[in-house]
Every structure is written in C-alpha cells, then in structure tokens.
C-alpha cells in the first residue's frame, strides 16, 4: 500500500472524528499486520492506541473484521490465547482494506464503543472508494 493512501486514510478518520467531537486512535497496517501509519488524538487514551494497532493487525492477519474472531471465540468457547499471539484481539474496529478484490492491509480504530469503532472504520474506507 502506498504511503499517500495510508496518509489519506488516517487524515480522513481524524477529520470525521474531529467534526463529531470524538477522540480516536487509528492504525493502518499491511497484509502481514505490520504498522504503516498511526495517529492518536490528544485526548484518546494510550489503551485506545494499542487497541487500534491490534485490531488492524488481527484484521489483516485473519483477513476479516477483527470482531468476527471475537464472535467466533464466544460461540465456540475457544480462547483467543489459542493463537499464541498477544496482538490478536476479538474487539470490533479492525476492517480489511480491499483493492481489486484482494486484501492489501487493514485499518483499526479505537476510542469509541466497539460498534462505533467499526462503523467509523467502514465509513473511512467507503468515503475513499
């Protein structure tokens, strides 16, 4: 993914959150979950920053929204620790970034309620199509 694309995703999320008077952290990762870009608004917690990165990481690695993994774990009684990867999370807010039918990375947002984090991530991606 090109740097300009990463920068635009981050700027778009920050602009939307600012207009709504929300405080978020946003992370963009490549297909392996490696961090390409990150921002944490002044009043967003440090924990939100960590979660945004882990949500994006999980989504990229699992090739689906991060919350799907959490739902699956709850339904099956499995633990996310079975993955033996401390960055894996089941919280909603991580969404794959697709281009021409293939996943090229993921975006993770944190700082709001889980459903709102995911909705904002999807809104950011939709606004750029």
Measured distance CA(41)–CA(36) in Å, rounded: 17
Predicted pLDDT of residue 29: 98
Q: Do 5 and 112 meet the contact criterion of CB atoms below 8 Å apart?
A: no
Print the domain residue range for 118: 3-127
**Domain total of the chain:** 1
* CATH code of 36's domain: 3.30.450.150
pLDDT, tens digit, for every residue of 48-107? 999 999 999 999 999 999 999 999 999 999 988 888 899 999 999 999 999 999 999 999
58 burial type by CB count under 10 A (0-12 exposed, 13-18 middle, 19+ buried): buried
Look at residue 60 and give its three-state secondary structure.
Answer: helix
Percentage of the chain surpassing pLDDT 90? 88
Q: What is the mean pLDDT of the chain?
A: 95
Q: Is the pTM of this model over 0.85?
A: yes
Measured distance CA(20)–CA(47) in Å, rounded: 21
């Amino acid at each position: 993914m090109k740097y300009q694309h990463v920068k635009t995703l981050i700027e778009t999320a920050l602009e939307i959150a600012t207009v709504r008077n929300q405080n978020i952290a946003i992370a963009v990762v490549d297909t392996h979950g490696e961090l390409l870009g990150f921002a944490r608004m002044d009043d967003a917690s440090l924990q939100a920053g960590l979660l945004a990165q882990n949500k994006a990481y999980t989504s990229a690695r699992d090739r689906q929204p991060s919350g799907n993994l959490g739902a699956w774990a709850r339904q099956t009684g499995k633990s996310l620790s079975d993955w033996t990867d401390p960055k894996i999370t089941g919280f909603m807010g991580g969404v794959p970034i697709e281009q021409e039918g293939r996943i090229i990375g993921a975006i993770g947002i944190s700082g709001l309620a889980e459903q709102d984090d995911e909705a904002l991530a999807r809104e950011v991606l939709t606004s750029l199509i």
